[in-house]
Amino acid sequence: MKKSRLAILASGSGSNAEAIMLWAQKSDLADVVCVISNKKQARVLERARDLNVAAEFVSKKLTDSKDDYDKKLLERLKKYQPDWIVLAGYMRLLTAEFLNHYPNKVINIHPSLLPLFPGTDGYGEAFQAKVHVSGCTIHYVDEGVDTGKIIAQKEFPLSPADTLEDFKKRGLAVENQFYPEVIEKLLRGQL
Ligand code: GRF
């Protein structure tokens, strides 16, 4: 079977991106063909370079609209011919035009059990709400904020003794394991 070509979009540290790159390097299902960031200094770009994966920064001019930026992104992605777009801590919403280029092929990981706590602070909000169980969600991406169809979820506990830092650390470790597992199942047509 032909390997799927994954392009990762990320804005930050990139622990999920790294987990996916490491998984792909051992897998016969996928190649990570590039990591693209909207942040020049994002650690994710270093992590990609360290693993010999093409790492690119796509800059946003002050005058760029959302549409302008996503057009640049599409242009940059063209040369990599990705089959899937994998968001991993990518802190921008995607336009309809972008999504139409990759129908049902853009996925994201979110650090809560959606539809609870969408937005930029899933861990913080779940912690504040003193839930006993939280988790992460992998979902298809639409134009909304974490509103796309859910693919898979994984729960993990939040104990009363946890600090927010403990909780985030535990959560990220779960995410880093779960994201590649779910991608593998998706590519095998098991989800
Ligand atoms: C993760 O918590 C992910 O769920 C959220 O952003 C964070 C990214 O972490 N969307 P990392 O950059 O992959 O370490």
pLDDT digits (tens, 9 = 90+) for 63-112: 999 999 999 999 999 999 999 999 999 999 999 999 999 999 999 999 99
Of the pLDDT bands very low, low, confident and very high (cuts 50, 70, 90), residue 159 is: confident
Name the residue type at position 144: G
For residue 62, the CA-to-ligand 1 centroid distance in Å is: 25
For residue 17, the CA-to-ligand 1 centroid distance in Å is: 9
Q: How far is CA 93 from the centre of its chain?
A: 12
37 CB within 6 A, ligand 1? no
* DSSP state, residue 19: H
**Interatomic CA distance for residues 18 and 142, integer angstroms:** 24
The answer to pTM > 0.85 is yes
132 a catalytic residue: no
CA atoms in the 13 A half-sphere facing the CB of 155: 7
Query: Which of 87, 185, 187, 97 has its CA nearest to residue 145?
Result: 87
Mean pLDDT, range 140-157, rounded to an integer = 96
Mean pLDDT of the chain: 97
Which atom of ligand 1 is the closest one to the Cα of 111? 4
Pocket test for ligand 1, best of 125, 175, 179 (most atoms within 8 A of CB): 175
- Which residue is catalytic, options 101, 110, 132, 139? 110
* pLDDT tens readout for residues 29-60: 999 999 999 999 999 999 999 999 999 999 99
- pLDDT higher than 80, residue 1: no
Mean pLDDT, range 140-153, rounded to an integer = 96
The alpha carbon dihedral of 5, 10, 12, 15 has a sign of: negative
Share of the chain above pLDDT 70, in %: 100
* DSSP state, residue 36: E
β-pairing verdict for 30-37 and 106-110: unpaired
Backbone φ and ψ for 91, nearest 5 degrees, come out as -95, 35
User: In 10 A of CB 154, how many CB atoms?
Assistant: 18
For residue 118, the CA-to-ligand 1 centroid distance in Å is: 13
For residue 101, the CA-to-ligand 1 centroid distance in Å is: 24
Position 160 scores a pLDDT of: 87
Query: Which of 179, 102, 175, 103 has its CA nearest to residue 135?
Result: 175
